[in-house]
């Protein structure tokens, strides 16, 4: 267990990305691509090639031996690349404005309104959406043969990213606590940790930092060759409502993200026994459990993303 925790810690320190780190989004995209048949893979690559930034943002690094396996992961990671591109950056799309847990008196915190379905008339230029809304929008765009191919390709990438994000527990909601986090901890961003910048960043790094082909192939093999894990992933694809995925992530947060060791100092502030929440050093046991949950969520996200991409490609092919 100590060895695994040390490996996880290395990834956390190396991670600089948002949401799942680059390695995590590549892993989820590769699992989804693996689950598609040959015709679907061809259609996927043909549509992605229509992306308006394809020439600039989708050229595989020269040291990548299998560009076809790199490409679906790059598609899922692209919305983080687009954070530096104002025309395509959509910061609110990456997370759900929801409540995971409340510590202390609910009257002492400001809880968000429940996220609803996307407003009528929403399109890829609509910035004021959250994760579940953006997924629904992008499913509609990708599956609509009347939409320009470039728009459908952008939607394909966002779906690759957001299906992954919806399975990261810290993207599904926030911890609210009297005095400590009256407006929420922003999905763990306000909970500082010694191993990484904060709790959110710690979880981002659990599936690996930047893309490394050798590490990615190893992680991919460990998942797809685990019959029990893949069976759980296949079973998860029976639930295809993003609101269900996000609810699962919030439930996971109550069990493995906001554990007793995280909540104890938060409760102390909420109860007036401390002035502020200190920077925390999470235990090796915490990292061990979190790593297992991250792997499960990556597998589930990969199975569900395969269904989402498959549906978007099939619906237009049949029209």
3-state secondary structure of 286: helix
pLDDT digits (tens, 9 = 90+) for 191-208: 999 999 999 999 999 999
In angstroms, the CA 171 to CA 206 distance is 14
| Contact of 242 with 251, CB cutoff 8 Å | no
CA neighbor of 219 nearest in space, from 298, 282, 315? 298
pTM above 0.75, yes or no: yes
CB neighbours of residue 202 within 10 Å: 28
CATH for the stretch 2-317: 1.10.575.10
In angstroms, the CA 164 to CA 22 distance is 11
In the block, which residue shows the tokens 């992680």?
219
Extract the tokens encoding 194.
Answer: 């010694």
In angstroms, the CA 85 to CA 201 distance is 22
Mean pLDDT by 10 residues, the chain (319 residues): 42 51 97 98 98 98 95 98 97 96 95 87 96 98 97 98 98 97 97 95 93 95 98 98 97 98 97 97 97 98 98 75
In angstroms, the CA 272 to CA 276 distance is 9
Instruction: State the number of CA atoms in the 13 A half-sphere of 5 facing the CB.
Output: 12
Please give the pLDDT value at position 3. Answer: 41
DSSP state of 172: S
All residues at 6 or more sequence positions from 24 whose CB lies less than 8 Å from its CB, including other chains: 164, 168, 204, 206, 207, 208, 294, 298
């Amino acid at each position: 267990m100590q060895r695994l925790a040390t490996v996880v810690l290395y990834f956390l320190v190396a991670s600089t990305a948002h949401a799942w780190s680059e390695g995590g989004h590549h892993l989820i995209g590769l699992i989804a691509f693996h689950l598609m048949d040959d015709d679907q893979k061809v259609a996927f690559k043909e549509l992605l090639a229509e992306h308006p930034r394809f020439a600039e943002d989708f050229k595989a690094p020269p040291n990548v031996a299998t560009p076809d396996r790199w490409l679906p992961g790059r598609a899922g990671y692209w919305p983080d690349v687009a954070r530096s591109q104002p025309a395509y950056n959509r910061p609110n799309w990456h997370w759900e404005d929801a409540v995971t847990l409340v510590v202390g008196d609910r009257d002492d915190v400001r809880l968000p309104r429940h996220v609803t379905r996307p407003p009528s008339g929403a399109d890829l230029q609509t910035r004021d959406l959250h994760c579940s809304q953006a997924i629904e929008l992008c499913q509609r765009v990708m599956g609509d043969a009347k939409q320009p191919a470039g728009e459908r390709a952008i939607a394909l990438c966002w779906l690759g990213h957001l299906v992954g994000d919806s399975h990261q527990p810290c993207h599904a909601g926030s911890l609210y606590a009297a005095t400590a986090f009256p407006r929420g901890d922003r999905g763990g961003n306000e909970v500082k940790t010694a191993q990484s910048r904060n709790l959110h960043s710690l979880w981002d790094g659990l599936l690996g930092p930047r893309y490394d082909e050798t590490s990615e192939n190893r992680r991919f093999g460990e998942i797809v060759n685990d019959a029990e894990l893949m069976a759980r992933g296949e079973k998860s694809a029976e639930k295809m409502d993003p609101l269900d995925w996000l609810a699962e992530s919030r439930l996971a947060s109550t069990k493995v993200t906001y554990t007793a060791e995280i909540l104890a100092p938060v409760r102390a502030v909420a109860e007036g026994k401390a002035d502020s929440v200190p920077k925390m050093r999470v235990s090796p046991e915490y990292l061990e459990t979190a790593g297992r949950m991250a792997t499960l969520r990556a597998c589930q996200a990969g199975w569900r993303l395969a269904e989402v991409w498959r549906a978007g490609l099939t619906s237009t092919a049949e029209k």
